[in-house]
Amino acid sequence: PKYVYFFGGKKAEGKADMKELLGGKGANLAEMVNIGLPVPAGFTITTEVCTAYYKNNKKYPKELKQQVLDALKKVENEMGAKFGDKDNPLLVSVRSGARASMPGMMETILNVGLNNETREGLIKKTNNPRFVYDSHRRLIQMYSDVVMEKAAGIEPEEGKGVRQQLEAELEKMKEAKGYQSDVDLTADDLKELIEIYKAKVQEVLGKPFPEDPMEQLWGAIAAVFQSWMGKRAISYRRFEGIPDDWGTAVNVQSMVFGNMGDTSATGVAFTRNPATGEKYFYGEWLPNAQGEDVVAGIRTPNPINEIGKSEHTKHLPSLETAMPKVYKELLGYQKMLEKHYRDMLDIEFTIQEGKLYMLQCRVGKRNGPAAVKMALDMLQEKLITKEEAILRVNPAQLDELLHPIIDPKAETTATMVAKGLPAGPGGASGQIVFSSEEAVKWAKAGKRVILVREETNPEDIEGMRAAEAILTARGGMTSHAALVARGWGKCCIVGAGSIKINFKDKTMTTNGYTLKEGDWITLNGTKGVVYLGELPMIKAAEENPYFQKLMKLCDQFRRLKIRTNADTPEDASKARSFGAEGIGLFRTEHMFYGKNSEEPLSKLRKMIVSKTEDERRKALDELFPYVKADIKGTLEAMDKYGVTIRTLDPPLHEFVPHSQEEREKLAKSLGITLEELNERAESLHENNPMMGHRGVRLGITFPEVTEMQVRAIFEAAAELIKEGKKPFPEIMIPVVSHVNELKHQYDIVVRVHKEVCEKFGLKKIPHLTGTMIEIPRAALTANKIAEYAQFFSFGTNDLTQMGFGFSRDDIGGFLPDYLEKKILPEDPFQSIDQEGVGELMKIGVAKGRATRPDLKIGICGEHGGEPKSVVFCHNIGLDYVSCSPFRVPIARLAAAQAAI
Ligand code: ADP
Ligand code: MG
Ligand code: MG
């Protein structure tokens, strides 16, 4: 088998689409050679060798040695120099390069092939002894660290590594000679230092530094393969989801030198600005420097051109003015590369005595706003197709466009005080308050506040609405606070465990800091980090024309409809502005919170603690106008589009007031004693309310509750019809597990529909009646349920909860461990568990449509706005997904990508 691929001259054996075999770096080096760019010759050892190496007890395939020697010969011919030759030596770099880019995670060794003999030849050739000695001592420093120590598995004590000890020798010499900086070292100094280094290597590692160039080469190759299993590389792969068995390739490439003097340089650049997407060549460079000096941040680099200068860098020399001819050449190459790859690229180059060499290119990483702008610009430039433009933007990145973010420059120097789960993306700063009431009060006074709570419950909702952001010490990504915050597009961090709140003193402590009410903090909800003080924000680009254009483009391709979960007319119109085509979930109960008036809530409470049907009917009658008004407002905001209204779902006790004061008020309004009220409240207590008296079960034990809601819906719709509008309510019964439950409610709907039609003199009120599929039994018996349901909406939050038997409110105790130990590949509450919960959905779809071929099917769980889940919903043939308003754009993009 072929294990080694040559590149150089005019022709390479590999090409760009051979990334799996040659790694990204190797494949792209080959491609650059093929399109005629100046690339120093070299060869790539395939990723298969890496895999074989680890399989066979760290032994290479037997053909490898000869293939490497043959390729090296070709490189020597190309470069007119000979590896290890004492008169005309070739030096090489040995570079790692996996399929997916893992920047800085693995090793690269430069200047391989230098020893006391070959360096004399190089001095004669270059007439630059200082540069040669400097390269030699760099080799010893790098090689002894990477090859002789790390790859050999030696773990020195903190600060006692061979590299540090060599650096200490360098410092010692500078001190002895009275030098300030490395550049003061003369050729003779460096020559002396090399001998000191060698002695030190022998002393620290008990082995001499290898003089034999071949031994150096094979040592470096092995070290690169070893670095695939290095700690850094392994954890990076975990984080990025890169499989361990991909392996890395090794690139052996002739050295070119950016450190030969003032006409030499090295640099890194992007074909467009990766932070903004603006179309201009963007980069940094350093004169008289080698290798990683730029990326590693050892020296402050200069801007590559005049256009790229900022307030910060305007006094620094640009390559454009320092070496105009070389710059022009580079500008031409980057243009050529972008045209060839049809994408923004990240490139590395080196200039040796005025001659330019290309050392790397790859598709560049970019942020959300830049990704969107570049995709649309490139479409306009006819560089890419519409489909490609849509596929170029990662749906998750759209979030970055919709929320304000912390100015990244300010963030790098900010003081971090806590870390939690990134529940609501974006950034926000404000003054700390510890209660919902304070949040509302401060906000009314025009202040920006961050609501800090142990955890949040429905009663905090007003404070959450008023606050800029929410921070909790407990809770997970699907906790109430997180759910609500995301729905509002609010920045939110939950489960910041280091935070301890002292409500009495109105202070909190975290990681040694004590903060009090009114202190400023800033949250990065995308990363889950809390900072001290007020950091500057960058405005989100909701009106970004590129964003709007991308959305329109997506609409040309997607088949799935996108609806939103909204409970208020404000949310409904927000979602409409993001392009929602109807409401997939209107939660009746949410209208009782966050209202300016306490009235509806107190009426609801009255209804809940009623004892007799009479009492209850009276309370319901009082409640009716509020419910009707709210539904009417929402139906109106969504005119023409469907509005799925779910009947009352949560367990009743959630609505019973907790405070003594509230309870007294309620008892009074019912004309009963406090004891009596407490008794009734007590009787509502349930051991497992999530599986208790909720949803359709309420509607069956108290049919009058369903009846009131259905009547409110139909009367609201009837009034709108009379006003010339086209409302379209879809009545949705939750928590159904048996067809008879639905039938019972369906009969109520039919009866009330008839009554309201008569009352308003209408022939009919257009509507649908349907159910949520959120209990496994409902999915399994969907054929029966479809006899009474005109639509299904998968409630995947509950379906996941009951499918796994995981209590959503208690997963914090074990789910992190499950993910850590890879019991589950990811949080099933975030992305649909396609294998299990997804199978229930597929069964539901198939059985439901078997009974009723035109059954409308959607999803209204949190998953409806998660890109992977959206693709799944497309694939199993749903008609729509419904998600929180701020996720509508993400769902539009994901749905378009699914259809391409
Ligand atoms: P990484 O994958 O971490 O970016 P590289 O293999 O690209 O590592 O090497 C880091 C730097 O070393 C490169 O950016 C380049 O400047 C320098 N380098 C690598 N090979 C050569 C070479 N043959 N000649 C000159 N410089 C090189
Ligand atoms: Mg690189
Ligand atoms: Mg539910």
- Report which secondary-structure segment, H or E, holds 720: helix 703-722
Q: Answer whether residue 657 is part of any domain.
A: no
Ligand nearest to the CA of 587: 3
Q: What is the CATH number of the domain that holds 725?
A: 3.20.20.60
pLDDT, residue 754, reads: 98
Task: Report CA(652)–ligand 3 centroid distance (Å).
Answer: 14
- Counting every residue written for the chain, the total comes to 900
Which of 95, 224, 268 best tests ligand 1's pocket when mutated (most atoms within 8 Å of CB)?
95
Q: Specify whether 480 is catalytic.
A: yes
Asked if residue 234 and residue 106 are part of one domain, the reply reads yes
DSSP state at residue 808: T
Of the candidates 541, 562, 670, the one whose C-alpha atom is nearest the C-alpha of residue 614 is 670
Ligand with minimal distance to 95 CA: 1
Greater model confidence, 661 or 176: 176
Pocket test for ligand 1, best of 346, 350, 355, 357 (most atoms within 8 A of CB): 350
Range of lowest pLDDT (25-39, 589-603, 611-625, 690-704): 589-603
Measured from the alpha carbon of residue 254, the closest ligand is: 1
Q: Is 350 a pocket residue for ligand 1 (Cβ < 6 Å)?
A: yes
> Where is average pLDDT lowest: 287-296, 500-509, 510-519?
287-296
Whether 108 and 150 map to the same domain: the answer is: no
* More confident of the two residues 344 and 486: 344
Q: Is the CB of 346 under 6 A from ligand 1?
A: no
Please identify, among 471, 506, 538, the residue that sits at the C-terminal boundary of a domain.
538
Ligand 1 within 6 A of CB of 302 = no
Mean of pLDDT values over 613-623: 90
Task: State whether the beta carbon of 256 lies less than 6 angstroms from ligand 1.
Answer: yes
CB 774 within 8 A of CB 734: yes
Half-sphere exposure of 245 (CA within 13 A, CB side): 2
- Tokens at 84, concatenated: 């290890």
- Options 480, 590, 744, 863, the catalytic residue: 480
For residue 587, say whether it is annotated as part of any ligand binding site.
yes
Is 491 designated active site? no
Alpha carbons 387 and 275: distance in angstroms, whole number: 23
Q: How far is CA 672 from CA 493, 636, 657, 659, 664, in A?
A: 43, 39, 15, 17, 9
Which of 199, 222, 255 marks a domain boundary? 255
CA torsion through residues 55, 59, 65, 68, sign: positive
CA atoms of 835 and 816, how far apart (whole Å): 20
Atom of ligand 1 nearest to the CA of 251: 6
pTM of the model: 0.80
Question: Which one has a higher pLDDT value, 219 or 105?
Answer: 219
Residues 346, 290 share a domain: yes
pLDDT at 643: 96
- With 80 as the cut, is the pLDDT of residue 138 above it? yes
The rounded distance, in Å, linking the Cα atoms of 527 and 799 is 28
- Identify which ligand lies nearest to the alpha carbon of 651: 3
* Distance of CA 292 from the midpoint of ligand 1 (Å): 7
Q: Which residue has the higher pLDDT, 412 or 176?
A: 176
CATH of the domain at 522: 3.50.30.10
**Which helix (H) or strand (E) is 570 found in, with range?**
helix 569-577
For residue 284, the CA-to-ligand 2 centroid distance in Å is 14
**Same domain, residue pair 867 and 725:** yes
491, 554, 860, 883: the active-site residue: 860
Helices in 80-161 by DSSP H: which ranges?
A: 118-126, 129-143
Q: Which two tokens stand for residue 525?
A: 């909800």
In this structure, the residue with its CA closest to atom 9 of ligand 1 is 108
- 727: phi then psi, degrees, rounded to nearest 5: -70, 150
| Position 47 confidence tier, pLDDT thresholds 50, 70, 90 | very high
In a shared domain, residues 220 and 207? no
Residues 57 and 93 in one domain: yes
Whether residue 151 is found in the same domain as residue 238: no
**In-domain check, residue 819:** no
- Cα 196 to chain centroid, rounded: 49
Ligand 1 atom with the smallest distance to the CA of 40 is 23
| Pocket probe mutation, ligand 1, options 360, 362, 365, max atoms within 8 Å of Cβ | 360
Candidates 348, 352, 353, 356: which one to mutate for ligand 1, based on the most atoms within 8 Å of Cβ? Answer: 348
The CA distance from 644 to 794, in Å, is 12
Q: Does residue 832 belong to any structural domain of this protein?
A: no
Question: 492 is in which domain, residue-wise?
Answer: 404-538
Q: Is the pLDDT of residue 486 over 90?
A: no
Answer whether 8's CB lies under 8 Å from 42's CB. yes
Atom of ligand 1 at shortest distance to CA of 266?
A: 16
- CA-to-CA distance for 605 and 623, rounded, in angstroms? 10
**pLDDT for the residue 716:** 97
Residue 382: the pLDDT is 97
Residue 675 included in any domain: no
d(CA 601, CA 612) in angstroms, rounded, equals: 20
Sign of the Cα pseudo-torsion (888, 833, 845, 767, in order): negative
The closest residue, in CA terms, to atom 23 on ligand 1 is: 255
Distance 829 CA to ligand 3 centre (A): 13
Closest CA to 461 of 475, 441, 481: 481
Q: Does 140 lie in the same domain as 111? A: no
Q: What is the mean pLDDT of the chain?
A: 91
**Is residue 647 domain-shared with residue 786, that is, in the same domain?**
yes
Does the annotation list 448 as a binding residue?
no
Identify the H or E element spanning 516: strand 513-516
Q: Tell me, in angstroms, the distance from the centre of ligand 3 to residue 694's CA.
A: 9
pLDDT at 311: 64
CB 266 within 8 A of CB 285: yes
Q: Please write the tens of the pLDDT for every residue from 737-775.
A: 999 999 999 999 999 999 999 999 999 999 999 999 999
Of the two residues 615 and 62, the one the predictor is more confident about is 62
Is 797 annotated as ligand-binding?
Answer: yes
Query: What count of other Cβ atoms lies within 10 Å of the Cβ of residue 243?
Result: 9
Any ligand 1 atom below 6 A from CB of 360? yes
Q: Return the CATH number at 201.
A: 1.20.80.30
User: What is the number of the ligand closest to the CA of 101?
Assistant: 1
Q: Among the atoms of ligand 1, which is closest to the Cα of residue 108?
A: 6
The burial class, CB within 10 Å (0-12 / 13-18 / 19+), for 704 is middle
Q: What is the pLDDT of residues 352-361, one digit of tens each?
A: 999 999 999 9
pLDDT for residue 506: 95
Residues 603 and 717 in one domain: yes
75: CB partners within 8 A, 6+ apart: 6, 8, 41, 42, 43, 83, 90, 92, 252, 254
Minimal CA–CA distance to 421: which of 523, 508, 520, 529?
529
pLDDT bin (cut points 50, 70, 90) of residue 684 is confident
For residue 816, is pLDDT > 60?
yes
The H-or-E segment that residue 730 falls in is: strand 728-733
Cβ(359) to ligand 1 under 6 A? yes
Instruction: Say how far apart CA 295 and CA 303 lie, in whole Å.
Output: 13
Bridge pairing between strands 282-287 and 302-303:
antiparallel
> Are 177 and 104 in the same domain?
no
Q: How confident is the model at residue 244 (pLDDT cuts 50, 70, 90)?
A: confident
Residue 667, ligand 1, Cβ within 6 A: no
For the chain, the domain total comes to: 5
Mean pLDDT, residues 705-727 taken together: 96
In short, whether 101's Cβ falls inside 6 Å of ligand 1 is: no
- Which residue lies with its CA nearest to atom 11 of ligand 1? 291
Query: What pLDDT, in 10s, does the model give residues 491-501?
Result: 888 888 899 99
Establish if 271 belongs to a structural domain: yes
Please report the atom of ligand 1 found closest to the CA of residue 102.
2
Residue 95 in contact with ligand 1 by CB distance below 6 A: yes
Return the closest-CA partner of residue 530 out of 495, 483, 487: 495
Q: Please give the structure tokens belonging to residue 839.
A: 């199978």
Here the CATH number for the domain that contains residue 36 is 3.30.1490.20
Is a pLDDT exceeding 60 seen at residue 296? no
For a pLDDT cut of 90, what percent of the chain falls above it?
66
**70 is known to lie in a ligand binding site:** no
Edge to edge, the sheet with strand 520-524 lists 416-419, 529-532, 520-524, 427-433, 449-453, 469-472, 491-494, 421-424
Instruction: Looking at the structure, tell me whether residues 361 and 508 fall in a common domain.
Output: no
Residue 796 annotated as part of some ligand binding site: yes
For the cut 70, the answer to whether the pLDDT of residue 457 exceeds it is no
Q: 589 in a domain, yes or no?
A: yes
In a domain, 630, yes or no: yes
The answer to the question of whether 798 is labelled as a binding residue is yes
pLDDT tens digits, residue range 193-222?
A: 999 999 999 999 999 999 999 999 999 999
797 CA to middle of ligand 3, Å? 7
300 domain residue, yes or no = yes
Distance 291 CA to ligand 1 centre (A): 5
